[in-house]
Structure formats: structure tokens, C-alpha cells
Structure 1
Amino acid sequence: MKYVKATAILPEKLILEIQKYVQGETIYIPKPEAAYQKWGARSGSRKMIDDRNASIKTAFKSGSSINQLSEEYCLSIETIKKVVYSK
């Protein structure tokens, strides 16, 4: 997170109002909930994992064992079970 000097972006009246509550402290102003993105949405990681999990489920339905999938995808047996048995 990068810091931005309040005097560079906020109007003076607003700074004076904020100073009634806090002076010389660092405050965090969160984004509105509408601006939140789920993990991996921006980088594409979420889609990559979803595609991988779909491939694992398809392979399992086609007869691959959990041990084979664990070796093929370099994931633990427990992780493969979570993927295969999730809805």
C-alpha cells in the first residue's frame, strides 16, 4: 500500500474537518465494497486454478485415480480429494 499526502489530494476544508478527529496519524480509508475484486481476478490466477480443477474433475470421472492425479498435478492427495469431491 502506498501512502499519499492528504494535502496533495484533499480539499483544505476536508483536511480541517478530519483534523478535529485525528492529527499526525496514519488512517486507512477502505474502498467501497462495489470496488472489491475476488482473489486472483486481476492476475488471472483464479481462472487458471478453476480450469485446473475442472480438468482434475474430468480426469477423475474418466477413471483416473486420486493417486495418479496427485502425481500428475503435483498436489497432495488431500487437495485432490477436496477438488474431486467439491460441488
Structure 2
Amino acid sequence: MKYVNASNILPEKLIAEIQKYVQGETLYIPKPEKTYRKWGSCSGARKSIDDRNASIKHAFTKGKSMSDLADEYFLSIETIKKIVYSNKKH
């Protein structure tokens, strides 16, 4: 996490108001919720996992066993069950 000196970016009046509540401490100011991004949305990891899960579901509907899918994708049978039986659309 990058730290910034408040006096370098905030107006003096705002700093004076904040100092009524906290002084000499590190203060974290979170982003607004609307700017949050879901995990993996920037790196493409989320899409990769969604694509993998869709392939697993498709293979299962075509008759491939959970054991075979677990071996093929290096996942536990419990994880395969969660993927196969989830209601999430891919």
C-alpha cells in the first residue's frame, strides 16, 4: 500500500477538520464501492476459471465421470461436485 502525506494533496481546511478526529496516525481512506472490481477481472483469471468450469460442466453432461474430471483438471472430487452442481451460468 502506498502512503501519501495528506498535506501534499488535501486542502488545509480539510486537514484541520480531520485533525479534530485523528492526529499523527496512518489513516486508510477506502475507494467508493462502485469502483471495486471483482477478483481476477483485470488479470483475466476470472474468465479463465469460468471457461474451465464451463468445460467441466459440459464434459460431465456428456458422461465423463467426476473422478476422471478431477484427474484431468487436478482438482478434488468435492471441487468438481461444486462446479457441476452450481447454478451459475457459464
Aligned positions of 1:67-78 closer than 5 A: 67-78=67-78
Q: Distance in 1 between matches of 2:30 and 2:45?
A: 24
Instruction: List alignment gaps of at least 5 residues for structure 1.
Output: none
Relative contact order (alpha carbons < 8 A, sep ≥ 6): 1 or 2 greater? 2
Q: How many residues align structurally?
A: 87
Does 2:39 correspond to 1:39?
Answer: yes
TM-score by length of 2: 0.92
Instruction: List alignment gaps of at least 5 residues for structure 2.
Output: none
CA RMSD of aligned residues (A): 0.8
Q: Distance in 1 between matches of 2:61 and 2:8?
A: 58
TM-score by length of 1: 0.95
Alignment deviations for residues 27-65 of structure 1 (CA, whole Å, 9 cap, x no partner): 111111110111111111111100000000000011100
Q: Which letter maps to 2:42?
A: R
CA apart distance, 1:2: 1.2
Q: Give the percent of matched residue pairs that are identical in Structure 1 and Structure 2.
A: 72
